Amino acid sequence: MTSPQNGGKPPDIEHGLDHLKAAKHDLTLAHQAEHRTEDEIRKAEHEIEGALAHHETEIIVNSRPREIPGKIAGFEQVVQLAFPGGTADQNTVYSMTYRHAAAHPHAGELGPGGKVKVRKGTVFNVTRTVRS
Q: In the chain, where are the structural domains located?
A: 8-53, 56-130
Q: How far is CA 82 from CA 36, 74, 96, 124, in A?
A: 47, 12, 10, 9
φ/ψ bin of 105: left (φ > 0), alpha (ψ from -120 to 50), beta (otherwise): beta
Q: How far is CA 50 from CA 37, 43, 44, 113, 117, in A?
A: 20, 10, 10, 23, 15
Diameter of the chain measured on Cα atoms: 103
Q: What does the alpha-carbon distance between residue 87 and residue 90 come to, in Å, rounded to a whole number?
A: 10
pLDDT for residue 2: 47
Give residue-wise pLDDT tens across range 6-26: 566 677 888 889 999 999 999
Fold that domain 56-130 belongs to in CATH: Ubiquitin-like (UB roll) (3.10.20)
Nearest to 100 by CA among 57, 129, 131, 69: 57
Give residue-wise pLDDT tens across range 79-123: 999 999 877 778 899 999 999 999 889 999 999 999 999 999 999
- What is the value of pTM for the model shown? 0.60
Q: pLDDT tier at 50 (50, 70, 90 boundaries)?
A: confident
